[in-house]
Structure 1
Amino acid sequence: MRNFIELMRQQGRVEEIESPCSTVYEAPRMASRTDKILFFHDLDGRRGVMNLLSDRRSLAAALGVEERDLVGHLAGMTYNGRVVDAGRLEGGIPADLSRLPVMKHFPGDAGRYFTSGIVFSRYDGVENASIHRMMVLDDGRVVARLVEGRHTHTLLKEALARGEKLPVAVTVGTHPLVTFAACTRVPEGKELAYAAELVGGELPVRECENGVRVPDAEIVLEGYISAEKATEGPFVDITGTYDPVRQQHVIEFTKMYCREDPIYHGILPAGDEHKLLMGAPYEPKIYRAVGEVTTVRDVLLTKGGAGYLHGVVQIRKNTQGDAKNAIMAAFAAHTSLKHVVVVDEDIDIHDPHDVEYAIATRVRGDTDIMVVTGVRGSSLDPTRLGDGTNVKVGVDATMVMGREDEFRRAEWV
């Protein structure tokens, strides 16, 4: 992470905050007002960073590709990076969360939350890595939101069924591409291999005392998830609204490892970094799925759609039905997607005015809008019904084949 921050410094994308700053509301509020990386030199007496991956330009820089090639590059990944055993993790001390500048982001939050912590787990030979928000209960425990059916929750159920706890290690302050990999749905157990591929082909990992393997990080918290539960929430999620309060599992930390003068990484809930990490990992998945039914050019999950619920897909039509097939492929690839617009190659999907122009001039409401009812959507969408179902809308904003001259805009040669 330190190398990436230095790279961003060289590009003039880091703002140094030298004056003292509070972890309660102040730092999060500052992060909401800029897309620059904020480096806090005195975050309640500690060092911290926010907005590490707040835009696509930063993600492209981390990958070493042009921003315009970002989705295509990610769509070509094969999850085959080399994970290298670098030995045991040494030098730990008893866990003490009071030593870390964990933030309280909004007045309605139930408490201080870890928002960038990657939960690495390992059970019965199977590994997983994913980000879970974690509310601090005391100096050694947090309560984590474990989404039912996701891999961490599945491994926990297996461990509890055998009367055992699930060993975990939480990292804070990893390279942003490792964080990105942990946010991506990959084949089972491939998160570390994917991270290795993203960073250039190889990723060293060290083993904690409980057997869990972790990559380089500023902070590592080692412990176990048990059957114990506690109240989790309220907490602001991706839409900027409060997620429901739930009973969730407790993680008890037994040990912590820190680099000298560690840099704490905080992600602002519903901020640009949160939206990018939630949505951008699905863009290559949609890209590949649409590529199975037509010629795909680009995919974007829009910032206005919370970076997660709204998508725009750019295609080159080969047959008149391609746009509607692309709509169905996009919904299948990203089941939380609520509204998707499919456009032609001449529309800039990163310009919302251009996308609106396509809707205004190329859509007939009676033939070009698909409405699908009674389908599973995102649990984060406030419009969902009590059974979790919702409505999806697909918009074919492409030109009618054979009549392209009637739709093309005038341009200078």
Structure 2
Amino acid sequence: MRDFIEKMREEGLVVDIEDEVSSIFEAPKIASKTDKLVFFHKLDRKHRAVMNVTASRKALSLALGYSEDQTVQNLSKAEYNGNLKSAGKLQMHHPDLYSLPIMKHFPKDAGKYLTSAIVFSEYKGITNASIHRMLVLDDKRLAARLVEGRHTHNLLKAALADGEKLPVAIIIGAHPAVTFASCTRVPEEKELPFAAELLGGEIDVYECPNGVKVPDAEIVLEGYITAELVDEAPFVDITGTYDPVRLGPVIEITGMHIKNDPIYHGILPGGNEHKLLMGMPYEPKIYRTVSGVTTVRNVSLTTGGCGYLHGVVQIRKNTEGDAKNAIMAAFAAHTSLKHVVIVDEDIDLFNMEDVEYAIATRVRGDKDIMVIEGVRGSSLDPCRIGDGLNVKVGVDATMVMGKEDEFIRATWDD
């Protein structure tokens, strides 16, 4: 992560905060005012910390090594085939969560939360890596939000069924390519090979005493997810609203490994870094799926749509039904997607005014809007029914084939 911070600094994308700043509300509020990487040099008087590590598409493209306009296309070709190089064993020390500048972000939060931490888990030879929010309970215990049916939750169920705890290692302050790979739905056990691919083909991994392997990071916490359940939340999620209280499993921390003068990484809940890491990993998946039904040019999950619930897909129509097929393909690729707009190649999908123009001039409500009721959506959507059912809307904002001349905008380059 330190190398990446310097790369961001060279691009003029770092804001240094030399004054003393509190981890309770103050640092998150400062980070909310910019998309640049914010480097706190005196967090809680003595700690170094960063926020907004990848809070813009430009920052994420720098981290992944792709040009900004070709990032989705390149990610859609990923093979998840990087090499893992053993770098030895990590020595653990006495854990103390209170020694870390873990932040409380908003007034109604249940407490201080780890927000950037990647949970590496392993059971019976099967591994996984994913980000989970984790509430600090005391100096050695966390409460995690594990989404039912996702990989970490399934590994925990398997361990508990055998009367065992699930071994985990939690890392904070990794290279953002590792973070991105851990946020991406990849084939089973391919998170670290994907990270290695993004980083040039190889990545060093270290083994913790409990057997779980992790890449380089500023802070490593070793522990076990247990059968104990406690209340977790309220917590602000990508919609900027408070997620409700649910029962979450307790993680017992048994060891801690930190670098000299570590740099803590916090992600602002509901901020642009959170939105990009939640949504952008789905863009190449949507790209690949839509490419199966028509010619796709680009995909964007929009900031205004919380980086997760709204999408714009740019296509070149080959037949008149392609846009509606693209709508169905996009919903199939990303089941939490709520509204999607399909646009032509002349529309800038990153410019919401241009997308609105396409809706205004190329949509007839009686034939170009597709409404699908009673389908699985996102549990984060305040409009959900229960814990996930919702209504999806697809909008065909493309020109009618054969009548393109009637839709061409006038320019001085004609």
Residue by residue over 1:111-156, the C-alpha shift from the partner in whole angstroms, topping out at 9 and shown as x without a partner, is 0000000000011000100000000000000000011000000000
Query: Is the partner of 1:159 in helix, strand or coil?
Result: helix
Separation in structure 2 between the aligned mates of residue 36 and residue 290 of structure 1, nearest angstrom:
32
Separation in structure 2 between the aligned mates of residue 114 and residue 356 of structure 1, nearest angstrom:
37
Superposition TM-score, scaled by structure 1 size: 0.99
Residue 213 (str. 1) matches residue 209 (str. 2): no
Separation in structure 2 between the aligned mates of residue 58 and residue 49 of structure 1, nearest angstrom:
14
Within-5 A mapping of 1:80-119 = 80-90=81-91, 92-119=92-119
Separation in structure 1 between the aligned mates of residue 374 and residue 232 of structure 2, nearest angstrom:
29
CA separation of 1:387 and 1:32: change in aligned 2, threshold 3 A: closer
Separation in structure 2 between the aligned mates of residue 328 and residue 78 of structure 1, nearest angstrom:
25
Residue by residue over 1:165-191, the C-alpha shift from the partner in whole angstroms, topping out at 9 and shown as x without a partner, is 000000000000100000000111111
Within-5 A mapping of 1:137-286 = 137-286=137-286
Runs of 5+ consecutive residues of structure 1 not aligned to the other structure: none
Separation in structure 2 between the aligned mates of residue 59 and residue 276 of structure 1, nearest angstrom:
9
Separation in structure 1 between the aligned mates of residue 412 and residue 200 of structure 2, nearest angstrom:
42
Tell me by how many angstroms 1:387 deviates: 5.8
* Alpha-carbon RMSD: 0.6
Residue by residue over 1:313-363, the C-alpha shift from the partner in whole angstroms, topping out at 9 and shown as x without a partner, is 000000000000000000000000000000000000000000000000000
Q: Specify the alignment match of 2:314 in structure 1.
A: 314
Separation in structure 2 between the aligned mates of residue 93 and residue 86 of structure 1, nearest angstrom:
19
Q: Which amino acid aligns with 1:351?
A: N
Q: Specify the alignment match of 2:402 in structure 1.
A: 402
Separation in structure 1 between the aligned mates of residue 203 and residue 411 of structure 2, nearest angstrom:
49
Q: Which runs of 4 or more aligned residues in structure 1 lie more than 2 Å from their structure 2 counterparts after TM superposition?
A: none
Q: Specify the alignment match of 1:53 in structure 2.
A: 54
Within-5 A mapping of 1:286-305 = 286-305=286-305
Residue by residue over 1:5-60, the C-alpha shift from the partner in whole angstroms, topping out at 9 and shown as x without a partner, is 00001111101110000000000000000011000001012110000000100011
Separation in structure 2 between the aligned mates of residue 226 and residue 107 of structure 1, nearest angstrom:
29
Q: Which amino acid aligns with 1:71?
A: V
Query: Is the partner of 2:315 in helix, strand or coil?
Result: strand
Count of aligned pairs between the two proteins: 412
Query: Is the partner of 1:40 in helix, strand or coil?
Result: strand
Separation in structure 2 between the aligned mates of residue 65 and residue 219 of structure 1, nearest angstrom:
27
Residue by residue over 1:238-290, the C-alpha shift from the partner in whole angstroms, topping out at 9 and shown as x without a partner, is 10001110111000000000000000000000000000000000000000000
Separation in structure 2 between the aligned mates of residue 254 and residue 50 of structure 1, nearest angstrom:
27
Separation in structure 2 between the aligned mates of residue 98 and residue 243 of structure 1, nearest angstrom:
25
Tell me if structure 1 keeps the 8 A contact 2:65–2:198: no
Separation in structure 2 between the aligned mates of residue 382 and residue 99 of structure 1, nearest angstrom:
35
Separation in structure 2 between the aligned mates of residue 149 and residue 100 of structure 1, nearest angstrom:
31
Residue by residue over 1:176-214, the C-alpha shift from the partner in whole angstroms, topping out at 9 and shown as x without a partner, is 010000000011111111111111111110000000000
Over the matched positions of the two proteins, sequence identity in percent amounts to 70
Separation in structure 2 between the aligned mates of residue 334 and residue 128 of structure 1, nearest angstrom:
20
Q: Which amino acid aligns with 1:369?
A: I
Separation in structure 1 between the aligned mates of residue 354 and residue 325 of structure 2, nearest angstrom:
22
Q: Specify the alignment match of 1:132 in structure 2.
A: 132
Q: Specify the alignment match of 1:28 in structure 2.
A: 28
